Chains A and B, each alone.
Chain A
């Protein structure tokens, strides 16, 4: 692959990096990332991955932009209200970087289409806001052996972990299954500081870039907690669980299924990519 002079110029500040260089940039341009949910987390991730020159980025979401999204879903503008989020986001990404092929999927990420959606991508970013979608992404990525970055945000806190399915601790190793409805405050009850999506979403994008480049240490087997109030990061060491229902020694989950959804009560309150 030969870079055009425009590309050399565009990516020069990362080509300079010892770990990137020409080869690294080529890897990024040949790489692909699927972003499930173009909301608080997905917006900044999509922006930065497009800017960095990730060759193909897929966006999965069927929601439309609402005014209350704009406080944190920074890829959308006031003029985009009522547009499909995937279209609003794709426009901005293409405007930032015409090198990037943006594919849009106006659908829910569901058991019936999950594996098909993952097929064409190297890495997955979970930008969803509900447990059922997060477990579905974990399970689908396990079956497809796709690495993914999980993140969640609530009030002033966020958490994230990267999963290499079958090799590192998975989401179910840690959380097993979705909590019963009402056990965890929803976004509507708790609210969220808009910048949280930026902090965590950009960490997810960072993991995607590191994975594509093959440099640094991925955030595997460590759950990272961020507290914006304390302005602190804590890494908690995690281990694969031999009893994990999906990646353990005797898995009980052998096929994908949609779990009863634990809803973030007001639909459209945050991006929602599950049914």
Chain B
């Protein structure tokens, strides 16, 4: 398949894909535990669904740009492995749902053939880099940002550091004012600017929408476009240095910035940028897709009319003129971001036949069909009408945003998608034009994690739960007033009220009616809000806030789209960012709990100190690919991988040996050694604190490193006259009595002894420094104890 290249797929992505295949096998055979497998698959964009044993695979689509051939492949794979449905996300990814684990690698391999990968689709990685879906075609854009998205993707994809950050890292580019808000809620935002004819970006840092949403800070009003890679590199480095990997809830860039201060962070970033320049990180070379052979077909004047019914409404609602004269793009509204694979095939064919052989995914989970020559518009309309989805309909739901919600997400509290449907229906039923819904762009999240982007919404809802009469019921917080103020400032939406889920649709209808009839209508929702809208919202909210008794209206205790009583069962800790750091942090927490309990309960002191020691020892082994099946193994393997290698202090060895003896036969000796246990726990914590993104630890500097410089004076053992293998036995015993790093000189007979003994030491992993004649037909063999 010949595709115009957008970004390169580097070798590490191929390797990771292969590794995934192997690890599925190891996981299924029980060799890899659930936890370890999760930490491997999540950065590959593979999450377990609420339904056990079924997975979601999220593939990145940089800039939301898809060649028709890539769209065909997504459709094929979905038909084969994912129930024939594709889900598009607000960050321009495509998701396969209900995938068996064995099929995930087949999807990965197949995606690679068309230049797509789910790597970085989840976990603590650089996620899909987004931009306005209309970049390059929107008449009002500053300039086309897609080429920079692709260039940065190309740069970051091969970097190891892209896959082991303190937390997920989101980058967005805005080509225009309309989409500028998105730069405010990403970790790193680039907003296109032109200064003196030169392309560049206003750079924003530290935005985010999850819990503790934060609007980003302006780092520089103008970064020359050629410096985009350098800026991203520098930001990531400073983030890696200051990100708090231990606390997942406080690990995003915005928390690091808050912690060390905006000015401090920016000044460190400035220094890092200088270094990056000095290191020769290359200029950003925009990837120009306009040279594509499959580009625009013909440029011919005005849009053509058609007598087909609904054509004019479609043109008005969904079609926009491009900045390229004679070309148009059509919005393809999707129902909740979902699209049947058959429809995707047809859209891809449409794009090939009548347009520019490409599709775009936009941040409202809809698609764009760009590069439609005016003459082809009627044909496109005719074809769109044949889709299974209603791509030309009157309802406002396509303009609303929702996460997947509790229907499938294991974090979800409420069924956010079903709420949007209910709102959309109620609004249409009340005769309110869909146009109004489009203007507001209602955002709904099923839980406070903000996947529905409510923090930037003019009007949004956040799912939650309350209890009444010992029954849970779904409830939403109402947020209002988010967005871009058109003057370089971003506003987060404000939480103003709380309304039971059942009442959200009527509340929205009343609110929109009031807005429609207000004097401020036409000046925008913000203006309405400031000129009395706020009071209306509060009054409406109050009137809709009451929850009737279950016996009266049981519907209040059910969520939209669900016949069962509302329940939080099935909700679990999120898998987002499941990674090695989290695993270790959890274990260390347990270890500290045992230690604390040892002090509280004297009778269980020995047992708890033992557990504290073994848990701490086991915690770091995941970095060495070891799963300690039991405490004994944890202690033993820690000794081998951390003390023998001098990463942890030699002084802890006795404790570990003692702990293993206690495991076998408790004598209560650990109870008298709580100071040593404390010291060991501190050592492990300090190793964890110093662990870098590649899971490496600094070697203790006081360790002997050279034979003569640091090693103690060599001990000598004369083994002349002692035959093999007893000479080796004696030499080995003598070496074992030395410290690691120390030197032993052994005097051996010529012949068999000097031929065998040094070789035996080498085989057993010790270092033979030299073998030299020692007069009298003897040899002096100098050995350093390494383990």
Binding site for B on A (CB under 8 A): 3, 8-9, 12-13, 15-16, 18, 21-23, 30-32, 120-123, 147, 164, 167-168, 211-212, 214, 220-221, 237
Determine if B630 and A22 form an interchain contact, defined as CB atoms under 8 angstroms apart: no
Determine if B632 and A15 form an interchain contact, defined as CB atoms under 8 angstroms apart: no
CB distance from B746 to the nearest CB of A (A): 15
**Chain A residue at minimum C-beta to C-beta distance from B632:** A214
Determine if A22 and B660 form an interchain contact, defined as CB atoms under 8 angstroms apart: no
**Chain B residue at minimum C-beta to C-beta distance from A26:** B736
Other contacts beyond A15-B732, A16-B725, A23-B736: 16, CB < 8 A: A8-B729, A9-B726, A12-B726, A12-B729, A16-B728, A18-B763, A18-B765, A22-B733, A120-B665, A121-B665, A122-B664, A214-B632, A214-B636, A214-B660, A220-B629, A237-B30
Chain B neighbourhood of A211, CB < 8 A: 664
B309 interface residue (CB < 8 Å to A) = no
Chain B neighbourhood of A16, CB < 8 A: 725, 728-729, 732, 760
Q: Give the distance in Å from the alpha carbon of A214 to the alpha carbon of B661 in the complex.
A: 11
Q: Give the distance in Å from the alpha carbon of A167 to the alpha carbon of B634 in the complex.
A: 13
B573 interface residue (CB < 8 Å to A) = no
Determine if B630 and A15 form an interchain contact, defined as CB atoms under 8 angstroms apart: no
Determine if A22 and B764 form an interchain contact, defined as CB atoms under 8 angstroms apart: no
Q: Give the distance in Å from the alpha carbon of A30 to the alpha carbon of B632 in the complex.
A: 17
Chain A neighbourhood of B664, CB < 8 A: 31, 122-123, 147, 211-212
B730 interface residue (CB < 8 Å to A) = yes
Chain B neighbourhood of A32, CB < 8 A: 665
CB distance from A16 to the nearest CB of B (A): 6
Q: Give the distance in Å from the alpha carbon of A23 to the alpha carbon of B661 in the complex.
A: 13
Determine if A122 and B733 form an interchain contact, defined as CB atoms under 8 angstroms apart: no
**Chain B residue at minimum C-beta to C-beta distance from A215:** B636
CB distance from A163 to the nearest CB of B (A): 11
What are 16 A-B pairs at a CB distance below 8 A?
A8-B730, A9-B726, A12-B729, A15-B733, A16-B725, A16-B729, A18-B764, A22-B737, A23-B736, A30-B661, A120-B665, A164-B632, A168-B630, A211-B664, A220-B630, A221-B629
Chain B neighbourhood of A237, CB < 8 A: 30
Q: Give the distance in Å from the alpha carbon of A53 to the alpha carbon of B5 in the complex.
A: 69
Chain A neighbourhood of B764, CB < 8 A: 18
Q: Give the distance in Å from the alpha carbon of A120 to the alpha carbon of B665 in the complex.
A: 7
CB distance from A56 to the nearest CB of B (A): 11
Determine if B725 and A167 form an interchain contact, defined as CB atoms under 8 angstroms apart: no
Chain B neighbourhood of A147, CB < 8 A: 664
Against A, the Cβ 8 Å flags (1 = close, 0 = not) of B656-674 are 0000110011000000000
CB distance from A201 to the nearest CB of B (A): 21
By CB atoms of chain A within 10 A, which of B629, B665, B726 has the most? B665
Chain A neighbourhood of B630, CB < 8 A: 164, 167-168, 220
Determine if A22 and B732 form an interchain contact, defined as CB atoms under 8 angstroms apart: yes
Chain A neighbourhood of B30, CB < 8 A: 237
**Chain A residue at minimum C-beta to C-beta distance from B766:** A18
Determine if A12 and B725 form an interchain contact, defined as CB atoms under 8 angstroms apart: yes
Q: Give the distance in Å from the alpha carbon of A123 to the alpha carbon of B665 in the complex.
A: 9
By CB atoms of chain B within 10 A, which of A12, A30, A121, A212 has the most? A12
Contact of B629 (CB < 8 Å), options: A12, A23, A168: A168
CB distance from A11 to the nearest CB of B (A): 9
Against A, the Cβ 8 Å flags (1 = close, 0 = not) of B722-766 are 000110111011001100000000000000000000001001110
CB distance from A198 to the nearest CB of B (A): 27
By CB atoms of chain B within 10 A, which of A8, A16, A30, A32 has the most? A16
**Chain A residue at minimum C-beta to C-beta distance from B734:** A22
Chain A neighbourhood of B733, CB < 8 A: 3, 8, 15, 21-22
Chain A neighbourhood of B732, CB < 8 A: 15-16, 21-22
Chain A neighbourhood of B760, CB < 8 A: 16
**Chain B residue at minimum C-beta to C-beta distance from A20:** B732
Q: Give the distance in Å from the alpha carbon of A180 to the alpha carbon of B765 in the complex.
A: 55
Chain B neighbourhood of A21, CB < 8 A: 732-733, 736
**Chain A residue at minimum C-beta to C-beta distance from B737:** A22
Q: Give the distance in Å from the alpha carbon of A105 to the alpha carbon of B760 in the complex.
A: 44
Q: Give the distance in Å from the alpha carbon of A135 to the alpha carbon of B414 in the complex.
A: 50
By CB atoms of chain B within 10 A, which of A121, A123, A168, A214 has the most? A214
**Chain A residue at minimum C-beta to C-beta distance from B787:** A18
Q: Give the distance in Å from the alpha carbon of A18 to the alpha carbon of B735 in the complex.
A: 12
Chain B neighbourhood of A123, CB < 8 A: 664
Q: Give the distance in Å from the alpha carbon of A242 to the alpha carbon of B694 in the complex.
A: 37
Of residues 320 through 370 on chain B, the ones whose CB sits less than 8 Å from some CB of chain A are: none
By CB atoms of chain A within 10 A, which of B725, B728, B732, B763 has the most? B732
Chain A neighbourhood of B665, CB < 8 A: 32, 120-122
Determine if A167 and B629 form an interchain contact, defined as CB atoms under 8 angstroms apart: yes
Of residues 645 through 690 on chain B, the ones whose CB sits less than 8 Å from some CB of chain A are: 660-661, 664-665
CB distance from B659 to the nearest CB of A (A): 12
**Chain B residue at minimum C-beta to C-beta distance from A23:** B736
Chain A neighbourhood of B729, CB < 8 A: 8, 12, 15-16
**Chain B residue at minimum C-beta to C-beta distance from A25:** B733
CB distance from B30 to the nearest CB of A (A): 7
CB distance from A44 to the nearest CB of B (A): 23
In the complex with contacts A16-B729, A214-B636, A237-B30, A22-B629 CB distance below 8 A: no
CB distance from B645 to the nearest CB of A (A): 16
**Chain A residue at minimum C-beta to C-beta distance from B637:** A214
CB distance from B639 to the nearest CB of A (A): 9
Q: Give the distance in Å from the alpha carbon of A209 to the alpha carbon of B764 in the complex.
A: 20
By CB atoms of chain A within 10 A, which of B629, B661, B730 has the most? B629
**Chain A residue at minimum C-beta to C-beta distance from B663:** A145
Q: Give the distance in Å from the alpha carbon of A220 to the alpha carbon of B630 in the complex.
A: 10
Would you list the 4 A-B pairs with minimal beta carbon distance, nearest first?
A122-B664, A18-B764, A22-B736, A12-B729
CB distance from A55 to the nearest CB of B (A): 12
Q: Give the distance in Å from the alpha carbon of A8 to the alpha carbon of B734 in the complex.
A: 12
Chain A neighbourhood of B763, CB < 8 A: 18
**Chain A residue at minimum C-beta to C-beta distance from B665:** A122
Q: Give the distance in Å from the alpha carbon of A221 to the alpha carbon of B632 in the complex.
A: 16
CB distance from B545 to the nearest CB of A (A): 43
Q: Give the distance in Å from the alpha carbon of A209 to the alpha carbon of B726 in the complex.
A: 22
**Chain B residue at minimum C-beta to C-beta distance from A18:** B764
Against A, the Cβ 8 Å flags (1 = close, 0 = not) of B523-564 are 000000000000000000000000000000000000000000
**Chain A residue at minimum C-beta to C-beta distance from B661:** A30
**Chain A residue at minimum C-beta to C-beta distance from B765:** A18
Q: Give the distance in Å from the alpha carbon of A31 to the alpha carbon of B725 in the complex.
A: 26
**Chain B residue at minimum C-beta to C-beta distance from A166:** B630
CB distance from A4 to the nearest CB of B (A): 12
Q: Give the distance in Å from the alpha carbon of A164 to the alpha carbon of B760 in the complex.
A: 34
Chain B neighbourhood of A120, CB < 8 A: 665
**Chain A residue at minimum C-beta to C-beta distance from B725:** A16
Chain B neighbourhood of A122, CB < 8 A: 664-665
**Chain B residue at minimum C-beta to C-beta distance from A17:** B764
Chain B neighbourhood of A31, CB < 8 A: 664
Chain B neighbourhood of A167, CB < 8 A: 629-631
**Chain B residue at minimum C-beta to C-beta distance from A121:** B665
Chain A neighbourhood of B736, CB < 8 A: 21-23
Q: Give the distance in Å from the alpha carbon of A32 to the alpha carbon of B733 in the complex.
A: 23
Against A, the Cβ 8 Å flags (1 = close, 0 = not) of B762-777 are 0111000000000000
**Chain A residue at minimum C-beta to C-beta distance from B630:** A167
**Chain A residue at minimum C-beta to C-beta distance from B666:** A145
Q: Give the distance in Å from the alpha carbon of A71 to the alpha carbon of B764 in the complex.
A: 42
CB distance from A67 to the nearest CB of B (A): 39
Q: Give the distance in Å from the alpha carbon of A214 to the alpha carbon of B30 in the complex.
A: 23
CB distance from B27 to the nearest CB of A (A): 14
CB distance from A70 to the nearest CB of B (A): 35
**Chain B residue at minimum C-beta to C-beta distance from A14:** B729
Q: Give the distance in Å from the alpha carbon of A247 to the alpha carbon of B661 in the complex.
A: 23
By CB atoms of chain A within 10 A, which of B630, B729, B730 has the most? B729
By CB atoms of chain A within 10 A, which of B631, B632, B664, B760 has the most? B664
Against A, the Cβ 8 Å flags (1 = close, 0 = not) of B616-646 are 0000000000000111100010000000000
Chain A neighbourhood of B661, CB < 8 A: 30
CB distance from B517 to the nearest CB of A (A): 62
Q: Give the distance in Å from the alpha carbon of A66 to the alpha carbon of B356 in the complex.
A: 94
